[in-house]
Structure 1
Amino acid sequence: METRAASVDDAEGMGQVLREIIEHTGRQRPHDVEFVMGRYITNPTSIRCTIAIDEAGNVVGFQSLKKAAAENPYDTPEGWGIIGTHISPKFQRQGVGKLLFLSTREAALQAGLEKIDAYIGADNPSGLKYYDAMGFQTYRTPEGIVQKVCSL
């Protein structure tokens, strides 16, 4: 397993990861190439989007890091990082998340971020456990959501 920065050529594979998550959880979310491009790869607030690839070169997970702008949809304080993690259910609990976070944490430090926000559905126990394991702590709980912060 290795990681690298996502490129335009990875959009389809990233969309496939999102489709696998939808199949596994039943939670609907956009997953087409256009969405992946705009949300993760070419987003102007993006600091880094890292993909994890298997030995065959297939995308098995990705993690985005953006800088929170004013009035962002997560109500994250301006200037903090916003993280999003998406791992194929076939590759969960195999160290993919830890590997992705190493790259993301490095990018956050290089960007001068002091804090990273994770916005997680309260009905997502694996996501909550993941961010706990990465050192995030709950700081806010809007209805149906748990927001966790990692101080760098």
Structure 2
Amino acid sequence: MAGGTTALETPLTAAEFADWFIDGEFALVCHVAAHDRSLAGFQSLSLYGDPPKGHADIATFARMSPKISGVGSAVFAATQAAAEELELEFIDATIRADNVGGLAYYAKMGFELYDRLVQVPLLDGTPVDRIKKRFKVDAGRRPTSSR
């Protein structure tokens, strides 16, 4: 898994990774997908950034090479089930506008546009919009997995 168009511009240490996605103050759940005994992707829900009550923030990462079809759908099915158990109303995603794959993924999972942050500078100063999408958690509505 690598950066490029991810919101994370600097690599995390193992301790930072665990704190952000697994067992830190804001982490709610984390699901992983494996293929041939190796990590193919993961997805987490957190309360990072102090979202409104009933909302959680989602982070999704998938291995780029070799790409494994169906990883995103598989982890989202598990994440959605966890969101239902946590009685969340919405799952929020913030995606860089230059992350074409991420925008397509969240659209495929049923996320809908609700806001846009214009010209947010990257660490190198390059301005890039952030697209804010939201998924209404609805028991019984599940994406279909191709795996």
Whose strand fraction is larger, Structure 1's or Structure 2's? 2
Normalising TM by the smaller chain, what interval?
Answer: 0.7 to 0.9
The aligned residue for residue 46 of structure 1 is 27
Indicate the residue corresponding to 1:37 in structure 2: 18
Report the secondary structure of 1:89's partner residue.
coil
Equivalent residues in 2 for 1:112-131 (5 A)? 112-131=87-106
Is the Cα contact below 8 Å between 2:114 and 2:132 reproduced in 1?
yes
**What is the TM-score when the length of structure 2 is the normalising length?**
0.77
Contact 2:43 2:59 in 1 (8 A): yes
Uncovered stretches (5+) of structure 1, i.e. residues with no partner: 1-16
| Structure with higher helix content | 1
Paired residue total: 125
The structure with higher relative contact order (CA 8 Å, sep 6+) is 2
Structure 2: gaps spanning 5 or more residues: 119-128, 138-147
Q: Compare 80-89 and 58-67 and name the one that shifted more.
A: 58-67
AA at the equivalent of 2:38: N
Q: Under a length normalisation based on structure 1, what TM-score does the superposition of the two structures give?
A: 0.75
C-alpha displacement of 1:77: 2.6
RMSD: 1.8
Question: Runs of 4 or more off by more than 4 Å in structure 1?
Answer: none
CA, structure 1 residues 39+50, in 2 after alignment: closer, same or farther (shift >3 Å)?
same
Aligned to 1:58: 38
Using the aligned pairs only, state the percent identity: 31
